[in-house]
Amino acid sequence: MLPLVVEGLSNNEIGARLGFSVATANFHVRSLLRKFEVATRIELAVKAVARGHVQLMPRDDADEGRERWICAGPPNDHHEAQPPRRNGLPK
């Protein structure tokens, strides 16, 4: 869910991609906003990348002259160095 928010997908797009309703996507996005103690999706994306919860990588299929990014989970060395967290998120 978090990488999809960081990629800029709407709740409609997240629901369609993951196979659940817009209401469910909205619930989970609001939960992430609360857990990261931010008010906007942009703040959520910035904190998620800064804390290493997601990693930005250039897309292979980006249009010429336009950068696009995809998100992945945390790098393996970072993930292994950190103690496990509940749902991979801060408390």
pLDDT tens string 6-36: 988 999 999 999 999 999 999 999 999 999 9
Q: Residue 6 half-sphere exposure, CB side, CA atoms within 13 Å?
A: 22
* Domain extent at residue 6: 2-79
In a domain, 21, yes or no: yes
Residues listed for the chain: 91
pLDDT in tens, 29-75: 999 999 999 999 999 999 999 998 888 777 665 555 544 555 655 55
Q: Residue 37: what residue type? A: E
Average pLDDT over residues 68-83: 48
Q: Residue 35: what residue type? A: K
Is it the case that residue 88 has pLDDT exceeding 90? Answer: no
In a domain, 91, yes or no: no
In a domain, 34, yes or no: yes
In a domain, 90, yes or no: no
Is it the case that residue 84 has pLDDT exceeding 90? Answer: no
CATH number, domain containing residue 42: 1.10.10.10
Residue 3 has a CB neighbour count (10 Å cut-off) of 17
Integer CA distances (angstroms), 39 to 34, 35, 44, 51, 55, in order: 8, 11, 8, 17, 21
Number of compact structural domains in the chain: 1
